[in-house]
Chain A
């Protein structure tokens, strides 16, 4: 006999047509279809502004009850006193890259695909077989050391800063900067892994010793570590993106690796390091906007310039020391198409241009 099983009656909500579409009726505010609590930079608000502005509230704007939690030793929220820099309106800063959810993933995924394709092609073409031993050693040691710097900046500089800025626009731009650095550091590490598995003389673990002990890299490591120890978020951003990245980061990436890799038969490294360059270009862009805003501030511009001068006096010598210490690595590749002096001059020149744009005096150390 066949047993019949009773199926449980399905239950589901019923659809009701409610005619709740925009424009179905006219009444007060029925056409009020833009965020009205802030003034966009242009006539029409951008997507970036709409999803970013005022999400982090501010007692100086709409936050009527103030921050409702404090630290054991001071106020909570995002105190403006967490930096010595001053602004008559921190909210005026907008990220020129307009980073938000979609841009973060679209841009970085595009980079991931580019890098991945490059690495796959390199494997297929056995590209590493053609590298000369000196270049393999150069990548093993120096690109290997540099990835530590990128990772340290990602986790202990940019991730850290984004807790402290007084507006959501500042903190979100910096959070994206952290994502760039983390991705780039990991891309370099995974490139290192590929090379160590490529049946070429490449020691995938050498980078640790180089970063930790090799004399040419110690001043760089020292600057990175000293950066992570800075408590003032604005000084940290200034010292990293305006000073360190120009005098050490760009010196190594732009003025050395990008210039000599191809001459040494390597078309892979520039495609990866180029993504880091592209990131920095965007990150410098928001940093310039922020610091320009501070140096041109009608009320605090002059005091900010003095402050930034002090920060330059601290960080420029340290970064120049790091730059000079790196000089020996210019001699390591077989094909030496650029000299250290030329590279450093180029980096200094770009740095001067950034400072000029910010209205800051060139530190005397730069001319020595």
Chain B
């Protein structure tokens, strides 16, 4: 279809909307934003007549590549270190995708611009595509990769796992609370515009370097839909900016959304890229270098900074602090170590790091070895059952961390941990911004104005609370993370599939798991203060989850 006829067709389609006079659409999902003064911004034009064949062609390429991968025995050359992490990633990501579809009517309800409704509804269909195409990729992995355990229980594991819950914010955040906060700022303006770059472009590059060219095939196809979504988000953002009353809310939401996306996405994708790869070429970009390119330059400098011309205060401090956490505070390395500490309650296996890995980390992150090297050597030493407990229950100078109440990634940069009594409960936070998110932003009043539509933090937010004071073997069994012989764990701290080297329920029995938050709330004021001081000092005190 020519550009001229597309423009004409699009103009015709806009005639389909009308001003209702008998009844107006129900407002199921409210917003505290106002669009009374909003100019009508027209997003990227898309009509169904060209949309369906375009997507069908993209699909055909994806499924052709999938057939080719099977015929070409791709799994002969896939690195298990890499694909194991996909058990976690691909258990998480279809939910955010389908949540994005579910978020679209929230934006439609909130924004009185029929011209944008069409684009949002098309995005809804895209997101159904993304969710199911990713589920299908995972199914292919399950059918063709050497170790299907973990893929085979994927959606259950996602729903009951500590890491799945971290990832679930990246979906629930799209569909809950203030419609604009959720479906526009958090989902489109930040998650899709900024962080899909690392999710759907940087990470698939790493997959290819590890012998897996299907992840890039699927995710680049997904990413090719994102430009339309970004356009939808930007149109709504500009409409919101037209009303001065929205400015404090926009600034609040940019701070929350930026920081939460950083906490969640950088934790996960950073770990997959840095600790899931076998590609240790020195000129291969580190996650920090990728982040600099994709997030700092492409998003912050090219997208966020220009918003200042509209008088919007953008969260420079939080962008810089995210960069600081990644480059100097070891955020990704801490997360990787935390995931590896928790291996018995994982549904994927985590490979040990070798000298070659150490060398690469030291090159990319000077000082890495002195901070993390010893721990990974211990991880390697304690990898097999028989003579020792799982590493979380051995004395290796690592204190099991407190969970951040807001982002649910633990407070791993220990000196930054904030502890406050909120809603009559002692809670820990990974940072001042996560504390602010819970105590200030997600409330019914903000900056002296009522914000009844803002969401709330709910649920059993500390995963460990659910399993407090239970035997580790019982927890693993309750979670269902056991292989089909009824005793061997799905998660393993190594990649050796020799059954004699794999941990069983009997090997982990006798270790009692304690919730740091439950214990914190049981402490006297003096005990708690001492505990927090020790934790913040460097977290190397000898309190680990063993009773």
Task: Name A residues whose Cβ lies closer than 8 Å to a Cβ of B.
Answer: 11, 13, 15-25, 27-38, 47, 50-57, 61-73, 75-77, 100-102, 104-106, 108-109, 111-113, 115-116, 147-148, 151-152, 154-156, 159-160, 162-164, 168, 171-172, 175-176, 178-179, 182-183, 185-187, 189-190, 192-193, 204-205, 207-208, 211-212, 221-222, 225-226, 228-231
B454 at the interface (CB under 8 A from A): yes
B residues within 8 A CB of A212?
18-19, 21
B105 at the interface (CB under 8 A from A): yes
B residues within 8 A CB of A106?
56
Given contacts A18-B77, A28-B499, A33-B152, A190 and B12 within 8 Å (CB-CB): yes
Pairs A–B under 8 Å by Cβ, sample size 11: A11-B281, A13-B208, A20-B146, A21-B76, A30-B497, A35-B155, A37-B157, A55-B95, A65-B461, A147-B16, A178-B125
B26 at the interface (CB under 8 A from A): yes
Q: Is the CB of B145 within 8 A of A22?
A: yes
A residues within 8 A CB of B484?
28-29, 31-32
B513 at the interface (CB under 8 A from A): no
* Closest B residue by C-beta to A57: B159
A residues within 8 A CB of B78?
18, 20
* Closest A residue by C-beta to B58: A105
A324–B451 alpha-carbon span in the complex (Å)? 46
* Closest A residue by C-beta to B32: A72
Q: Is the CB of A76 within 8 A of B105?
A: no
A residues within 8 A CB of B160?
62-65
* Closest B residue by C-beta to A107: B52
A residues within 8 A CB of B452?
72-73
Of B134-142, B239-247, B331-339, the one contacting chain A is B134-142
* Closest A residue by C-beta to B16: A151
Q: Is the CB of B16 within 8 A of A162?
A: no
B440 at the interface (CB under 8 A from A): no
A residues within 8 A CB of B294?
none
Of B172-180, B229-237, B266-274, B365-373, the one contacting chain A is B172-180
B residues within 8 A CB of A32?
148-149, 152, 483-484
Q: Is the CB of A164 within 8 A of B28?
A: yes
A160–B104 alpha-carbon span in the complex (Å)? 8
Which residue of the partner chain, among A55, A70, A189, contacts B176 with CB atoms under 8 Å? Answer: A70
B23 at the interface (CB under 8 A from A): yes
Q: Is the CB of A190 within 8 A of B146?
A: no
B73 at the interface (CB under 8 A from A): yes
B residues within 8 A CB of A76?
172, 175-177, 455-456, 458
A163–B128 alpha-carbon span in the complex (Å)? 12
Q: Give min CB distance, A156 to chain B, whole Å.
A: 5
Given contacts A37-B156, A116-B49, A178 and B124 within 8 Å (CB-CB): yes
Q: Give min CB distance, A304 to chain B, whole Å.
A: 22
B426 at the interface (CB under 8 A from A): no
Q: Is the CB of A18 within 8 A of B155?
A: no
Q: Is the CB of B23 within 8 A of A226?
A: yes
Which residue of the partner chain, among A62, A102, A205, A225, contacts B63 with CB atoms under 8 Å? Answer: A102
Given contacts A51-B132, A63-B160, A68-B168, A18 and B80 within 8 Å (CB-CB): yes
Q: Give min CB distance, A5 to chain B, whole Å.
A: 20
Which residue of the partner chain, among A101, A160, A176, A193, contacts B9 with CB atoms under 8 Å? Answer: A193
Known A16-B278, A72-B452; further 15 A-B contacts with Cβ < 8 A:
A25-B146, A31-B148, A37-B154, A51-B132, A63-B159, A67-B172, A72-B454, A100-B136, A101-B133, A104-B125, A105-B59, A148-B16, A162-B102, A226-B22, A230-B26
Contact mask B151-168 → A, CB, 8 Å, 1/0?
011111111100001001
Which residue of the partner chain, among A53, A112, A185, contacts B16 with CB atoms under 8 Å? Answer: A185
A residues within 8 A CB of B488?
27-29
Q: Which of A50, A75, A204 lies at the interface centre, i.e. has the most chain B CB atoms within 10 A of its CB?
A: A50
B residues within 8 A CB of A229?
23-26
A69–B165 alpha-carbon span in the complex (Å)? 11
A218–B488 alpha-carbon span in the complex (Å)? 67
A residues within 8 A CB of B125?
104, 175, 178-179
B residues within 8 A CB of A18?
76-80, 211
Q: Is the CB of A72 within 8 A of B456?
A: yes
A204–B9 alpha-carbon span in the complex (Å)? 12
Q: A-B pairs with the 7 shortest C-beta distances? A: A37-B156, A28-B483, A62-B159, A51-B135, A29-B149, A29-B483, A76-B176
